[in-house]
Amino acid sequence: MACGCNKIKKDTSNSEPPRRTGPLDQCLFCAQKHADEALVAMNEFMYRTENRSFVHGSLRAVVNHTFKTWPGIATKAREAALLWQEARFDESQSKLEAVILDIDAALLSENPEIQERIKDAEDAKKEQGNESNERTS
């Protein structure tokens, strides 16, 4: 399913309607979605054929969304997919966790406003916790 990130990032000065994100479009948001899906499936389902296929397909989708612009991420995702195919599940998961960290670092580097929003949300949570502690004291 396309994420619609092209709609979100659409230049409002352009009169062209936004198009759906394609499977080979270079997009960290799409890569993150597929990597997260793979990790969830690795941890929540058994190693039956349909689940192994889903995880493998999700890892390959990460490769497709990163191979031109972020080749280091694509290489690690490909390695995770190959390990998964070989039923080296723990190694594959470790590699995927590294991919997720790399995607997150690239996303935050290219979108500093996301880091600012995270910090603001964390500060607000801390403030809520302090207020709650003051009321119970």
Please indicate whether residue 127 or residue 106 has the higher confidence score (pLDDT). Answer: 106
Whether this prediction's pTM lies above 0.85 is answered by no
Q: Summarize pLDDT for 51-76 with one digit per residue, the tens.
A: 899 999 999 999 999 999 999 999 99
Q: Summarize pLDDT for 10-39 with one digit per residue, the tens.
A: 455 656 666 677 888 899 999 999 999 999
DSSP string, 8-71: HT--TT--SPP-PPPTTS--HHHHHHHHHHHHHHHHHS-S-HHHHHHHHHHHHHHHHHHTTT-H
**Cα atoms found within 13 Å of the Cα of residue 127, Cβ hemisphere only:** 6
